[in-house]
Amino acid sequence: MSSTSTHAEVTAADTAGRWPVLLLLASGLGWLVISGIFALIASIQLHSPTFMSACEWFTHGRVGALAETSFVYGWAANAGLGIALWVLGRLGGATLRAQNWAMTGTLFWNLGITLGLGGIATGEATSFAFLELPRYVQPLLVVAYIAIGISGILAWSGRRTEGTYASHWYAVAALFLFPWLLIAAQTMLLWSPVRGVLQPIIDGWYVQSVFSLWLAPLALAGAYYVVPKITGQALPSYEFAPLAFWTLLFVGTMTGGRHLIGGPVPAWIPTLANAACWMVLFHFIVVALNLRGALTGGGTSLTFISFGLLAYFAGAVLDAVTSFRGVALVTQFTYFTTAQQQLALYGGISMLLLGSIYFAVPRLTGRPWNSGSFVRGHRVLAMVGIFLLVGSLAVAGWIQGTELSNAKTTFGEIAGRTRPWLLAVTVAQGFLLVGNILILVNFLRSVSDVWCAGAVSQVGAFRQPTTMEVHAS
């Protein structure tokens, strides 16, 4: 039976390398809940400005920065790295190497995030979007990230097969590119700041690159692995996957200038970004074509990935449409841009990552998730929450944008007219927070089963996978 053991879905190679991945996923889910609490407070303050305003630490500017930072660097970074390491390990066909590096790096990364959030709360935040973490923790983050990344790079360079797969490209690109992004941005904005109007240009580039060159590739690395694993079908239009990858890398980061439409920058910078917004649609279309098998499949992972895929695609189309200056005239600098960001980061990246997490954790623990009803509850709450969050923010932003151009409307009236939609945003943040608590508790219970009861795995629950065949298309 040696041939079947090599084809078993859960092998000793998986369980031997599980702790770095589980630590990353646990940190990510923990930060997701914490960032949800901050986001809930921030959303309440939008319609009830006096809420917690007596406490300096929880004034709106700081809570907003805390929510954003803990979401991007706490949740998305940890979860994305966990999934990337796991996928690279699985595809490498061997136990994850340099596990101590990854574990130590994860601890220091999260130490840095904790210190940085404390710094933001006490008023030491920088003034740059996505780069609010105080200057003094940023070098630590670079070093910690590289330590985690080494494990993934070793799994990639030491892989058993010569060829590479789409998940390899996206994961390795994210591992290599993020240190460069962070070093470049913090050098030019914090250590040796460039002057004047160059600062928002560089920050716009950084914000977009965090999405296009780091979080999106991490999420896609997981999705490109999980979808064909579950459907058992080779990806359709896979011949275009390399082109989609390079389009994202080269063109995706050029779309950063769209954050500056209407700002005091030379006209060619937003224009280049708008053209890039349309060019990069090629990436999104090919990804949607490649992964469209997820839409037909059932099960937890594919439900999350389908939702994430649709949101990822819708977010790109929305970015392209609002990049036209006529549309941006209304939407720019309103809640609408927040809606776009939440659609991309929460609807797209997070749902893709959650789909991969639902697939990965049973293979790491060697047993199914602890509670099925928690999984169902999270699924419903996450989907309803994101629909409500993005929809309400978009409507509020559209009202805000059209009324701001009307000289006869006062700010008070605008606040009054957007208030019902902002209340809906708070409800949505509540749904999302409860859903995220469900997956955190479910995750901790699943892991503690293994941690405390020893490695009593239920390998029998895993169906034996078969060989994938390439169909002539």
Residues near another protein (CB under 8 A): 7, 9, 90-91, 93, 161, 163, 165-166, 225, 228-232, 234-235, 237-243, 264-268, 270-272, 274-276, 278-279, 281-282, 285-286, 289, 297-302, 325, 358-359, 362, 368-372, 375-376, 379, 461-463, 465-470, 472
Contact at 8 Å (CB) between 63 and 16?
no
Residue whose CB is less far from another protein, 47 or 379: 379
Distance CA 359, CA 352 (A): 11
Name the DSSP class of 213. I
Residue whose CB is less far from another protein, 113 or 438: 438
For residue 170, the Cα-to-chain-centroid distance in whole angstroms is 14
Reduced to 3 states (helix: H, G, I; strand: E, B; else coil), residue 165 is coil
Residue whose CB is less far from another protein, 47 or 168: 168
Smallest distance, Å, CB 70 to another protein?
A: 28
Distance CA 464, CA 462 (A): 6
Smallest distance, Å, CB 63 to another protein?
A: 34
Distance CA 404, CA 374 (A): 43
Smallest distance, Å, CB 471 to another protein?
A: 9
For 46, phi then psi, to 5°, come to: -70, -30
Contact at 8 Å (CB) between 161 and 237?
no
Q: Which of 360, 365, 357, 363 is nearest to 451 (CA)?
A: 365
Residue whose CB is less far from another protein, 61 or 299: 299
Smallest distance, Å, CB 266 to another protein?
A: 5
Smallest distance, Å, CB 182 to another protein?
A: 28
Smallest distance, Å, CB 377 to another protein?
A: 10
Residue whose CB is less far from another protein, 48 or 371: 371
> What's the one-letter identity of residue 399?
I
Contact at 8 Å (CB) between 364 and 22?
yes
For 43, phi then psi, to 5°, come to: -75, -35
Residue whose CB is less far from another protein, 166 or 381: 166
**Where do runs of H (alpha helix) occur along 188-240?**
198-209, 216-231
Residue whose CB is less far from another protein, 137 or 244: 244
Residue whose CB is less far from another protein, 326 or 412: 326
Smallest distance, Å, CB 49 to another protein?
A: 35
Long-range Cβ contacts of 292-296 (<8 Å, 24+ apart): 292/236, 293/227, 293/228, 293/231, 293/233, 293/235, 293/236, 294/223, 294/227, 294/230, 294/231, 296/231
Smallest distance, Å, CB 253 to another protein?
A: 15
